């Protein structure tokens, strides 16, 4: 059996073979749990957690030290493209192909609110350094737009 055939038989379609790493670089762990492609991941500000958005309509929060899945966030109706933590690490925002941005409590996994109004898939989100504003971007075939939202209901 060829090496390619072994890989095809042993791994799901979306999982790539291990990368060829440069000398001196070591793969620490592979985070497993999503059932479809993964979007733009984010580190928590304290470096203890990773958040991964996926086309499987979920966000997974991972313990960065152990590589274990801490919790799975459900609420988007289509694939999740991007995530960003606020500077405190207490909240997380996500952008999805369902044209929404959702805000989550990172400790409990509870959805805090949903921001609607994009007319296209949300491809990028960011929280300002003070944690007061959320910026987002959605694009289409002829360009994109940039939106800003308050990070809290106050």
pLDDT in tens, 33-86: 999 999 989 999 999 999 999 999 999 999 999 999 999 999 999 999 999 999
| Domain regions of the chain by residue span | 31-150
**Residue 94 in contact with residue 42, Cβ under 8 Å?**
no
**Residue 104 in contact with residue 92, Cβ under 8 Å?**
yes
Which CATH fold would you assign to the domain 31-150?
Answer: Methylamine Dehydrogenase; Chain H (2.130.10)
**Residue 50 in contact with residue 42, Cβ under 8 Å?**
yes
The pTM of this model reads 0.78
Chain center to CA of 104:
12
pLDDT in tens, 81-101: 999 999 999 999 999 999 999
């Amino acid at each position: 059996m060829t090496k390619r055939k072994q890989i095809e038989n042993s791994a799901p379609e979306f999982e790539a073979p291990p990368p060829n790493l440069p000398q001196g670089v070591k793969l620490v762990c592979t985070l497993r749990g999503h059932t479809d492609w993964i979007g733009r991941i984010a580190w928590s500000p304290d470096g203890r957690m990773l958040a991964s958005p996926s086309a499987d309509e979920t966000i997974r929060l991972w313990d960065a030290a152990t590589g274990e899945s801490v919790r799975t966030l459900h609420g988007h109706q289509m694939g999740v493209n991007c995530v960003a933590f606020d500077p405190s690490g207490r909240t997380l925002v996500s952008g999805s192909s369902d044209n929404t941005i959702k805000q989550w409590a990172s400790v409990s996994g509870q959805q805090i609110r949903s921001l609607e109004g994009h007319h296209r898939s949300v491809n990028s989100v960011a929280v300002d350094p003070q944690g007061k504003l959320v910026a987002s971007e959605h694009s289409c075939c002829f360009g994109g737009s940039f939106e800003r939202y308050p990070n809290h209901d106050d």
